Every structure is written in structure tokens, then in C-alpha cells.
Amino acid sequence: GDSVTQMEGPVTLSEEAFLTINCTYTATGYPSLFWYVQYPGEGLQLLLKATKADDKGSNKGFEATYRKETTSFHLEKGSVQVSDSAVYFCALSEDGGATNKLIFGTGTLLAVQP
């Protein structure tokens, strides 16, 4: 079945460092791809999404490009802040988005130090 694999954490960076969190997927159809963020003690919030190949999702300085040829959706940010410390989840929608049933990766904890 469909699945998502993302790099294990924790990822520890200094403020203003460049961030990459890798995400690859396996899907039989053409899924939509998402990054969700979970701050401590809170639920998940959508960070960005892309619905078709070569689309770039972006929000709050974060970016990810839907790469069909490499089945990847890596999350990047040019300069992280302490407030970006959270758990980041890569996800895909099964059935190409018809049901919006999401399959999540295991999450990557990001810790940004001042």
C-alpha cells in the first residue's frame, strides 16, 4: 500500500541554519503531498501542500517541491528560528485525494538552539 518515509530525528540546528528534512513516498496513484507541523502540546497544523508533480508548496519560509521522478517531497527552510522547533510530518493522501485519507510518516523532531 501507499507509504511515507521521512528522515529520523531529532534534527538539531543553530538559529539561522539551513534546514532539510527528507521525505519520500510510495503510491500507486497520484497523491497529494503535505507537510504538517506539531508544536509541543498541540495538534497538527498544515504547513504546506502540493497536489501535482513539480508543484512547490510554501509557507512561513518553508518550501517543498513535489518530485515525481524521485518520489520525494523534501522540506527546506533557508534560515530556521527557535520558534520553528516542533515535530514535522510528511503525509500523502490516498486515492489521489479522493477521500482525503492521509498516510503520515513517523515525524521528525526539529530542535533549534539560539
Residues that bind other proteins (CB under 8 A): 32, 36, 42-46, 49, 51, 89, 93, 97, 99-107
User: Which grid coordinates are listed for 96?
Assistant: 489521489
Q: How far is the CB of 66 from other proteins (least distance, A)?
A: 12
Peptide linkage before 10 cis (omega within 30 of 0): yes
Report, in Å, the least distance between residue 112 CB and other proteins.
22
| Termini Cα distance of the chain | 41
Q: Least Å distance between CB 50 and other proteins?
A: 10
Of the pair 17, 103, the CB lying nearest other proteins is at 103
Q: How far apart are CA 54 and CA 69, in angstroms?
A: 10
